[in-house]
Amino acid sequence: MAITLAEGAKLSNDVLLQGIIETILKDSPVLQALPFVDIIGNGLTYNREKTLPTAEWHAVNTDWATSPAPDFDQLTATLAILGQNADVDNFIKQTRSNIQDIEAAIIELTAKACRHEFEKQFIYGSTTNYLGITGDANTFNGLIKLITTGTASDQVIAMAATGATLTLAKLDELIDAVRGGKPDLLLMSRRSRRKVTALVRASGAYMETVKGEFGEFIQLYNGVPIGVNDWILDTHTLVGSVETAITGATNSTIYALRFGEGSVCGATNGGIQAEPIGALEGKDGSRTRIKWYVSIVDFCLQTRAALIGVQD
């Protein structure tokens, strides 16, 4: 069973850990909605359907031919290590904490840095070189690699061969590309959100707005929440209706995502951990290590899609 980080925080009595999770969740539509499966070991191996068997109509008293066996792709989501040390100098902690808790502030900023890095890798994470991204074997593959926007497919919708101005018709096509129900989130850059708002306003309609868990206002398009990821670039390059680089032009990408087991899901072992290291040997200070063994799992191809070539 997968639960979100917000729900996981309710199960923890560690005040420091709760603060870290809340800091990571704030302003992060992905982490607020993305459920995580807690696994044992360093990876999750799963089977994804590739080819279905066939079905046929039959006459009475005739032999039935045996359908070819279904095919599966066996995939593994390997956990990556995300984290950082939050070091606090004892002199600063003792002499400068009369107004603000210096240690708490440093831990909060470190947790925020972890959130930023996860959100960036959620989009552009790649263990190998891809579309101009330098591969990093220590991270996990993000949406750009999982959806494979550099290759034509049913889940990759292009505005045009080299990009074009966003239209509501194309946004509707993106939503329809996600099967099994509406997406849980439309993830885009701020420029793309401004364009969606302008298009809806120009059509004579208005954007529905609801209040989120942290008191923030969330805009909806066709009943689907719109989330902003500040790491999505507006500089992608398209050639022949596929992406060839994440820099060099003026295109962006909008992602439609369904979350949950069987869709797009996170994987972790132990969740976000705050480990008190204690006094440092080489200097007068103390250390708290924030770490997260994490990856994302792409259970089903039809539960996520990308609209590429989005121009202003």
State mean pLDDT over 34-56.
86
* Choice between 46 and 134, residue whose per-residue pLDDT is larger: 134
Calculate Rg over the CA atoms of the chain: 23
Q: What is the mean pLDDT of the chain?
A: 89
Query: What pLDDT shows up at residue 5?
Result: 60
Query: What pLDDT shows up at residue 2?
Result: 53
Question: Alpha carbon 268 to chain centroid distance?
Answer: 14
Query: What pLDDT shows up at residue 59?
Result: 92
State mean pLDDT over 149-168.
94
Does 41 score more than 70 pLDDT?
Answer: yes
Give the Cα-Cα-Cα angle 69, 74, 80 (nearest 5 degrees): 170
* Choice between 37 and 15, residue whose per-residue pLDDT is larger: 37
Does 33 score more than 80 pLDDT?
Answer: yes
Does 176 score more than 80 pLDDT?
Answer: yes
* pLDDT tens digits along 57-71: 999 999 888 888 888
* Cβ–Cβ under 8 Å, residues 111 and 311: no
Burial status of residue 111 (CB atoms within 10 A of its CB: 0-12, 13-18, 19 or more): buried
Question: What is the C-alpha to C-alpha distance for residues 295 and 255, in angstroms, rounded to an integer?
Answer: 18
Query: What pLDDT shows up at residue 136?
Result: 95
Domains, the chain, ranges and CATH? Answer: 3-49+73-124+263-298 (3.30.2400.20), 148-258+303-311 (3.30.1930)
The three-state secondary structure class of 20 is helix
Percent of the chain residues past pLDDT 70, beyond the cut: 92
Does 89 score more than 90 pLDDT?
Answer: no
**Residue appearing with tokens 């500089």:** 235
Dihedrals φ, ψ of 288, to 5°?
-120, 130
The three-state secondary structure class of 162 is coil
* Choice between 89 and 308, residue whose per-residue pLDDT is larger: 308
Pick from 30-39, 61-70, 91-100: least confident: 91-100
First-to-last alpha carbon distance for the chain, in angstroms, is 40
State mean pLDDT over 142-148.
95
State mean pLDDT over 255-273.
92
* pLDDT tens digits along 210-234: 887 777 788 999 999 999 999 999 9
Does 11 score more than 60 pLDDT?
Answer: no
Enter the tokens of residue 129: 């070189």
Query: What pLDDT shows up at residue 1?
Result: 44
Residues 6 or more apart whose CB falls under 8 angstroms from that of 148 comprise 156
* Choice between 96 and 202, residue whose per-residue pLDDT is larger: 202
Question: What is the C-alpha to C-alpha distance for residues 19 and 176, in angstroms, rounded to an integer?
Answer: 38
Residue 103: CA atoms inside 13 Å, Cβ hemisphere, count? 15
State mean pLDDT over 254-262.
94
Three-class secondary structure assignment of 46-69: EEEEEECCCCCCCCCCCCCCCCCC
The three-state secondary structure class of 91 is helix
- Say if pTM beats, i.e. exceeds, 0.85: yes
Question: What is the C-alpha to C-alpha distance for residues 170 and 192, in angstroms, rounded to an integer?
Answer: 13
Query: What pLDDT shows up at residue 184?
Result: 95
- Dihedral sign for Cα 173, 178, 180, 183, please: negative
- Count of CB atoms situated within 10 Å of the CB of 106: 17
Full DSSP string of 288-307: EEEEEEEEEEE--GGGEEEE
Question: What is the C-alpha to C-alpha distance for residues 266 and 38, in angstroms, rounded to an integer?
Answer: 9
Enter the tokens of residue 140: 């996990």
Query: What pLDDT shows up at residue 84?
Result: 94
